[in-house]
């Protein structure tokens, strides 16, 4: 549900800049309609500008003194006592109104434009375990991007056939968390060294959005399908946008790649006995070899002869680490 509120310029700017994370009001009939997850549109009463926020919590109190005693306040107001803060609310509400309705603290968090799902990924990986950690590492992993009916419009793909690669903007739907962490443990650093999340491509980010450069293998204009290769997302992944890859702006051969440069050529030997490999087609077998060569095991826990497994191409693949190689033991 969407709610509308007016704010003076100073508190409006605090909301806009993200320094104001709660709004304090009477808990009247209008405010009782607000729930966690709802949207509030604040309007600057002086300029008419608006900012949209999401409601993160609702906390009800008998009076403002109890509210500020429990929650404190933000910014320059945090130096004031609960009584001083409660007295400042008399500018807006009378003691009678406060007694009649009670008061509420509404937690808020700024939100941007809503991302629309325009398509979904379809490939041989129903779960994220087993997938390469980056796009383009395993060209043999192929799949489709199927546009949803609303966006399955031939004209929207006109001209895309002239490009060899595309950028795909997508959502980490299989790795979402309520809270984000400022540091993460990159698998290629052994899983124990922490780096800043913005120095990595970890899925555990403030916004669970990924981007992949994929090779465009073909286009089905009639059915709204893109055939692609080099995938690093699993089947069912939501796609938010498609953009053409441009060598003259997107390619930077002189770029420095930080700690990722040290591990860019990492791979591991893969052994698939012939009698087991025959259970997959030649194309699917090549994709599996590539996925295992990227070493999907958790970096922080790599035990000798421990069995791992994941779903691939409608089958269950089992493998172990033995004598420096990943050995497939079963495909069923």
Residue with tokens 């403002």: 64
Helix (H, G, I), strand (E, B) or coil at 321: strand
Provide φ and ψ at 171, rounded to 5°.
Answer: -110, 140
Closest CA to 129 of 332, 330, 331, 310: 310
Domain boundaries, the chain: 2-110, 115-173+208-255, 265-332
Contacts of 16 (CB under 8 A, 6+ apart): 49, 51, 110
The token pair at 51 is: 């900012």
> Per-residue DSSP letters for 27-53?
--HHHHT--TT-EEEEEETTT--EEEE
Instruction: Name the average pLDDT for the chain.
Output: 91
CB 65 within 8 A of CB 56: no
CATH T-level assignment (fold) for domain 115-173+208-255: Elongation Factor Tu (Ef-tu); domain 3 (2.40.30)
pLDDT recorded at residue 173: 81
The token pair at 226 is: 């893109």
pLDDT one-digit tens code per residue, 4-41: 999 999 999 999 888 889 999 999 999 999 999 999 99
Rounded to an integer, what distance in angstroms lies between the CA atom of residue 186 and that of residue 4?
Answer: 42
The token pair at 298 is: 């958790």
pLDDT recorded at residue 77: 66
The enclosing H or E element of 17 equals helix 9-17
Class in CATH terms, 2-110:
mainly beta
CB 295 within 8 A of CB 270: no
The verdict on pTM exceeding 0.85 is no
CATH T-level assignment (fold) for domain 265-332: YaeB-like fold (3.30.2310)
CB 224 within 8 A of CB 118: no
pLDDT one-digit tens code per residue, 261-312: 877 778 899 999 999 999 999 999 999 999 999 999 887 666 777 899 999 9
pLDDT one-digit tens code per residue, 114-162: 789 999 999 999 999 999 989 999 999 999 999 999 999 999 999 999 9
Closest CA to 212 of 136, 296, 284, 141: 136
pLDDT one-digit tens code per residue, 52-62: 999 999 999 99
Q: Do domains 115-173+208-255 and 265-332 have the same CATH topology?
A: no
Closest CA to 119 of 143, 139, 147, 80: 147
pLDDT one-digit tens code per residue, 65-107: 999 999 887 665 677 899 999 999 999 999 999 999 999 999 9
pLDDT recorded at residue 78: 72
- Radius of gyration of the chain from Cα atoms? 26
CB 226 within 8 A of CB 245: no
């Amino acid at each position: 549900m969407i709610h509308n509120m007016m704010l003076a310029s100073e508190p409006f700017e605090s909301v806009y800049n993200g320094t104001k994370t709660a709004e304090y009001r009477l808990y009247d009939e209008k405010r009782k309609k607000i729930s966690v997850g709802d949207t509030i549109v604040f309007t600057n009463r002086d300029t008419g500008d608006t900012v949209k926020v999401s409601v993160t919590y609702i906390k009800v109190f008998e009076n403002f003194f109890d509210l500020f005693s429990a929650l404190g306040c933000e910014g320059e107001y945090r130096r004031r006592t609960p009584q001083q803060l409660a007295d400042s609310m008399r500018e807006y509400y009378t003691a009678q109104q406060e007694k009649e309705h009670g008061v509420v603290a509404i937690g808020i968090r700024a939100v941007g434009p809503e991302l629309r799902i325009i398509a979904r990924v379809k490939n041989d990986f129903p779960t994220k375990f087993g997938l390469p950690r980056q796009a383009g590492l395993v060209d043999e992993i192929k799949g489709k991007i199927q546009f949803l009916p609303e966006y399955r419009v031939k004209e929207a793909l006109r001209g895309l056939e002239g490009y060899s690669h595309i950028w795909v903007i997508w959502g980490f739907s299989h790795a979402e968390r309520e809270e984000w962490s400022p540091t993460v443990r990159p698998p290629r650093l052994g899983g124990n060294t922490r780096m800043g999340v913005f120095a990595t491509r970890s899925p555990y980010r403030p916004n669970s959005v990924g981007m992949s450069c994929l090779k465009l293998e073909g286009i089905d204009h009639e059915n709204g399908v893109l055939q692609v290769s080099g995938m690093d997302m699993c089947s069912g992944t939501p796609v938010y946008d498609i953009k053409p890859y441009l060598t003259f702006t997107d390619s930077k051969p002189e770029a420095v790649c930080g700690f990722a440069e040290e591990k860019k050529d990492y791979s591991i030997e893969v052994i698939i006995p012939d009698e087991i490999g025959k259970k997959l087609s030649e194309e699917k077998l090549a994709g599996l070899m590539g996925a295992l060569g990227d070493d999907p095991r958790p970096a922080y826990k790599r035990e000798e002869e421990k069995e791992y497994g994941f779903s691939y191409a409608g089958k269950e693949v089992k493998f172990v680490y033995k004598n420096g190689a990943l050995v497939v033991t079963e495909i069923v």
